[in-house]
Structure 1
Amino acid sequence: MSQDTREQVLTHPADHLGQSRAGRASIRAVVHSEWTKVRTLRSLSLALVGGLAATVGGTMLACGTYGKAELEAADFDPVFASFFGLNFGQIAAICFGVLAVAGEYADGGIRVWLAAVPRRGLWYGGKLAVVGGLSLATGLVTGFAALLGGQALLDGHGVGLGAPGALRAVLGCGLYLTLLTLLAAGVAAALRSTVGAIGVLVPVVCFLSPVLGEGATTRFLPDRAGQQILHAAPEGGLGPWSGLGVLALWTAAAIWVGWRVLERRDA
């Protein structure tokens, strides 16, 4: 956040959060404070915008370089092709979720916020609500831009939003990035370290399934399962929504572990 905002919070944290005389911050005040952080911290804003740019840019680059043989192949999926750039954009989503939570521990800000919001569940819930809401909004814009931009470059082999699975994939892109961001936030709350959380999540989400290849186990990894919703015809045994459900279970587990650590350990 900006220097002026940080000084105000450090001096009068209760006033900044709009606490009542009873000393309890409302959920509305907590959400507002978290929204202020995202708007004023450049690293968080860049992570959001970077995810959109990386996804759309990577997709358009890939779609613009497909050869005729690839476009006319029987197994070519034009819908999934529009989300090639998500391989890069998901890294930005992970960074956004991690920075939003672990960044509080890097400079000791967590002690200030928990002093102003003694109910840790309220602070954690407000944090996740803002992070998840912004990720969903950005993810939906990303999904529409990636699909429309990518299809325009498929040399006559593109499809529109009315094609089977296309609109579902756009909505799925937003949900996938949201769940991935919340997964990262949960891991960051558990590890309390930006480097540690990113060091765990990026290899697991981005590199593990390609290294292990196809298999009964890899289809349940967060990225492989969650991305089934981006296919016009899902593959690997999981359907589009069941695959997203698997990712949701990973996310719920990470959020729960993060909450238990936050609840039990000192700031």
Structure 2
Amino acid sequence: MSVTQALPSSAVTPFVPLADPAPVTLRRVLSSEWVKLRSLRSSWITMGLAVAAMVMAGVVGGILTNQDWAHMRPGRRANFDPVGLSLAGLNFSQLAIGVLGVLFISGEYGTGMIRSTLAAAPRRLPVLWAKAILFGLVTLILMEISAFVAFLGGQAALGSHGTTMTAPGALRAIVGSGLYLTVVALLGIGLGFVIRSTAGGIAALFGVLLVLPGILSILPDSWQTNVGPYLPSNAGAALYDLHPDPGTLAPWTGFAVFVGYAVVALVAAAIILERRDA
């Protein structure tokens, strides 16, 4: 008959964790989101398109305008804006920035990866703030550099028809272009969390930035005068547009209104993120 003998208590080794789990902090969430952003090839391709659009439009526009200067109508020469020509690529860059902002969020919802993200950061809001801070900062740095390069390259291409950075409003327009695109990025982040669909988020963003001004243009003049300056893209454009239409908001006032739209989108995103399941 076999006898089972109990091991002495001294022979039983209790389980001791190697280390306490690190607390979830905004810095750690930022680090995680940076890995996601830089590891996706599509992120850098899209951001590269935004940079290329800004720079190439300014340089190519300057070259073509310089070549065509002798054939340009006198009225167009009199109203020629060398600063605006160099920064014309902003209209294309905002498309890429806006799409990437929405995709940075909706892509995780589409693949289901957002569940892992929120499981690692159960308080949820640090995920929103980390994505907004990271993508906003990357956009600000890259697009400010692009705006300066586009201006300098465009003025060099214009030759004697160009201007300098010391011209009235030129520096504000250059810096304002990068700031405008940064707010577009934050709008994309907010709408991505609110709508959670790539197609829906992009449609909503472009509807707000591009479609609303077009709709307003066919409405009575009183609507255009009273409502037009407060539309998101019109308000934001006041910062970099050196020849605004009559009734346009003051540059920094318009930009403050534009920032307000982004704040509303991010606050709505925070509320929905807290209350709705992933």
Q: Same fold (TM over 0.5)?
A: yes
Please give the alpha-carbon distance, in whole angstroms, between the structure 2 residues aligned to 1:86 and 1:55.
6
Q: Which runs of 5+ in 1 are unaligned?
A: 1-19
How far does residue 141 in structure 1 lie from its aligned partner after superposition?
0.9
Is the CA contact 1:143–1:170 (under 8 Å) kept in the aligned structure 2? yes
Do the aligned partners of 1:132 and 1:178 also contact (CA within 8 Å) in 2? Answer: yes
1:1-267 aligned within 5 A: 21=20, 24-66=23-65, 67-68=68-69, 69=72, 73-210=77-214, 212-213=216-217, 215-216=224-225, 217-235=227-245, 236-267=247-278
Bigger mean CA offset, 78-87 vs 250-259: 78-87
Deviation of residue 56 (structure 1)?
1.7
Give yes or no for contact 1:143–1:169 (8 Å, CA) kept in 2: no
Give the Å deviation of 1:203.
3.4
Over the aligned positions, Cα root-mean-square deviation in angstroms equals 2.0
Count of residue pairs the alignment pairs up? 248
C-alpha displacement at 1:211, in angstroms? Answer: 5.3
Structure 1 or 2, whichever has the larger Rg, is 2
Taking structure 1 as the reference length, what is the TM-score of the superposition?
0.86
CA contact (8 A) 1:169 1:231 kept: yes
Change over 3 Å in CA distance of 1:124–1:225 after alignment to 2: same
Shift of 1:39: 0.8
Q: C-alpha distance in 1, partners of 2:237/2:24?
A: 38
Q: Measure the CA separation in 1 of the matches of 2:228 and 2:206.
A: 16
Distance 1:254-1:237 versus aligned 2 partners, 3 A rule:
same
1:204 CA displacement: 2.9
Counterparts of 2:160 and 2:39, CA distance in 1: 43
Deviation string, structure 1 residues 233-266 (Cα, Å, up to 9, x no partner): 5444211111111110111111111111111100
Name 1:3's counterpart in structure 2. none
Report the secondary structure of 1:136's partner residue: helix
Deviation at 1:70, TM superposition (A): 5.7
Q: Which moved more, 1:38-47 or 1:145-154?
A: 145-154
| Distance of 2:176 and 2:55 partners within structure 1 | 15
> How far off its partner does 1:59 sit?
2.7
C-alpha separation between the residues in 2 aligned to 1:47 and 1:222? 23
Query: TM-score normalized by structure 2?
Result: 0.83
Q: C-alpha separation between the residues in 2 aligned to 1:155 and 1:210?
A: 35
- Distance (Å, rounded) in 1 between the aligned partners of 2:172 and 2:270: 32
CA apart distance, 1:22: 6.0
- Structure 2 unaligned blocks of 5 or more: 1-18
How far is 1:190 from its partner? 0.1
Question: Within 1, Cα distance between the matches of 2:250 and 2:32?
Answer: 39
Matched AA of 1:250: Y
Q: What are the superposed Cα offsets for residues 207-254 of structure 1, whole Å, 9 maximum, x if unpaired?
A: 432453382222222222111221235444211111111110111111
